[in-house]
Chain A
Amino acid sequence: MKIPGHPVSEGVAKAELLVSPEPITFYGGVDPLTSKVTEPGHPLYGEVLKDRILVFPHSKGSTVGSYIILRLARRGIAPAGIVTLKPDEVVIVGCVIGGVPSMTGISEEAFNTLRTGDKAELRVDRNYAELLVEEL
């Protein structure tokens, strides 16, 4: 299955998906030293973002979240790629400065078909972005 989107930050990532039905707050909700989700009650609580393609609707909370994405990337523990339903400033700025491959604007229909553990490849260049999900 091939899911098109809008480019945010260029690059290629091949990894398993980690899908959150809920928005993610990076500042205060993700530990920049371990990449673990620390927000109590969050569906991804305790999950590690490292080496996974993180899929979520959009971010929430402080704009310092951009710097948290940068910190994860510089420590080598950022998500392999980021795919969102809706664009937002925090994720866009964080992915560009952290060099994390990212696309946004996938359809709600496509979003609902994605499952944690699916194997996928994210390809983003300046004018083109797609997520290729392996069929089972």
Chain B
Amino acid sequence: MYLDPEEEKMLDGEYGEAIAMAMKTVLRVAEALKAERLVRVKNAHISGISYKNIGDEGLQFLEELAAKGGRVSVPSSMNPAGLDLAQWRNMGVDKGYFEKQMRIINALAALGIKPTLTCTPYLYEDISYGDHLAWSESNAVLYANSIIGARSNRDGGPLALFEAIVGRAPLAGLHVESNRRPELVIDFTSVSKEVEEQNMYSVAGLLVGALTGNRVPLVRGLKLSKERLDYIKLFLAAVGATGGTGLVLIEGTSPENYPASGVDTIKVDFKMLRETLDNYSGADEGAIVLGCPHLSLDEIMDIISRLPENGTATRKIFLYTSREVYEALSAYMPRLREKNVYVFADTCMVVSPLNIYAGKEVITDSGKAAFYLKAQGYKVKLVSRQKAIEMAFT
């Protein structure tokens, strides 16, 4: 494997221990992927933020890396944490847990990573077609590759962190154009109208992920215009939950066009959608949780516009978004709370202690949230966003 002189110096420890460890790890992964060389990345997004997952040992590791002088060399952002940094007391989180979580965030910030705590870096970061990225968080990787035409593998959190430190990733996988071509076609043409009318984009995404596995699919017959980012986000996040791929070529939407010749086609019928949806038909009674992926400002304004003028929701509605959007909405908060609607930033329903503040039964419009919450033992009902709001006001 080829290393340029600067990369050799990084490996040999001339820039310090933290960079040497980062380079060694990236190199070992590059060798495993049979990369011929590394490629410079423009931006990084780091997952693996939750204290619950990485524990005291992960926390110590990050603090040591920061103390050794580790520093990212490209603009880097952070995935959501296990709590809302300002409202954690309302989430049933104890103080010890909060303090450990803050130490993780502070260590990552000391490494130079912006504490954005959102899973939608594509709404905020300056990235464009053809850029190489070191992103973890599956929905973000899918959006960057499939909608923007940037190039990122679906890295794990620590690998993306090391790539951010050395500013390079292995030139392999989705960084290489020949690996971005469709390996099968998934055709929704015969159910296109039903998916659109019934807002079944989350269901379509769960199905695509299950059908495609680790392959790059070409999806045909889904009306996913860039005017409806809400549908695109829900669709891709659901693909990332059930599938292992980092790229979905959406005909008519994705910027890359490759011929799909000589590959298998799977035709989707309504029965397949119905069976996928039937996995998430529990919980008619629970709270409503929206915002996986994090809601954009436009999406929250749209939700606010759909709330009835009079009356209060008969069940709690929780919305999850970035700190930036939360702050932009501050003038609306009193009215939302009056309507039994609560907005959380920095976290989401999947990584915060949802059972404590919302119970074990929930209704969501997100296929990704439905998939992960069901796996955590929740009773989940998957419906469209409009239907969820209607359920709260009847």
Query: Which A residues form the contact surface with B (CB < 8 A)?
Result: 6-9, 27, 32, 63-67, 70-71, 73-75, 87-90, 92-93, 96-97, 104
Query: Do A8 and B55 touch (CB < 8 A)?
Result: no
Q: List 15 A-B contacts (CB under 8 A).
A: A32-B55, A67-B157, A67-B158, A71-B57, A74-B61, A87-B32, A87-B33, A88-B32, A89-B29, A89-B159, A92-B32, A93-B29, A96-B24, A96-B25, A96-B28
B57 and A89 contacting across the interface, CB-CB below 8 Å: no
Chain A to chain B: the 7 pairs with minimum beta-carbon distance, closest first: A63-B156, A87-B32, A74-B57, A71-B57, A67-B54, A96-B25, A67-B58
User: Interface of B with A (CB < 8 Å)?
Assistant: 21, 24-25, 28-29, 31-33, 48, 53-55, 57-58, 60-61, 136, 155-159, 162
B104 to chain A, nearest CB (A): 11
- Chain A hits for B55, CB < 8 A: 32, 67, 71
Q: How far is the CA of A63 from the CA of B55 in the complex (A)?
A: 15
Complex Cα–Cα for A74 and B60 (A): 9
The DSSP consensus for interface residues of chain B is helix
Contact A64 B53 (CB under 8 A): yes
Number of inter-chain CB pairs below 8 Å:
75
Interchain nearest-CB distance for B296 vs A (Å):
26
Judging by beta carbons under 8 Å apart, are A8 and B54 in contact?
no
Closest A residue to B58 using CB positions: A67
- Beyond known contacts A67-B158, A74-B60: 19 more, CB 8 A cutoff: A6-B31, A6-B32, A32-B57, A63-B155, A63-B158, A64-B54, A65-B156, A67-B48, A67-B157, A87-B32, A88-B32, A89-B155, A92-B32, A93-B25, A93-B29, A93-B156, A93-B162, A96-B24, A104-B32
Nearest-neighbor residue (CB-CB) of B28 within chain A: A92
Q: Chain B residues near A65 (CB, 8 Å)? A: 156
Report Cα–Cα, A67/B29, bound state, in Å: 16
What are the residues of chain A within 8 A of B32 when measuring CB–CB? Answer: 6, 87-89, 92, 104
Contact of B58 among A6, A7, A9, A70 (CB under 8 A): A70
Residues of A within 8 A of B48 (CB): 63-64, 67
**In the complex, A9 Cα to B159 Cα: how many Å?**
15
- Closest-CB distance, A15 to chain B (whole angstroms): 22
What CA separation (Å) do A97 and B23 show in the bound complex?
12
Chain B, Cβ-Cβ closest to A126:
B24
Given A89-B29, A97-B21, A97-B158, is A63 in contact with B60 using a C-beta cutoff of 8 Å? no
A6 to B34, CA, bound (A): 12
CB distance from B49 to the nearest CB of A (A): 11
Q: CB within 8 A of B159: which of A6, A71, A93? A: A93
CB distance from B53 to the nearest CB of A (A): 5
| Cα distance, A8 to B31, chains bound together (Å) | 9
How far apart sit A96 and B136, CA to CA, in the bound complex (Å)?
19
Complex CA gap A105/B341 in Å reads 54
Q: Is the CB of B61 within 8 A of A63?
A: no
Whole-angstrom CA separation of A112 from B64 in the bound complex:
40
Report the separation of the CA atoms of residues A6 and B1 in the bound assembly, to the nearest whole angstrom.
Answer: 13
Nearest CB of A to B146, in Å: 20
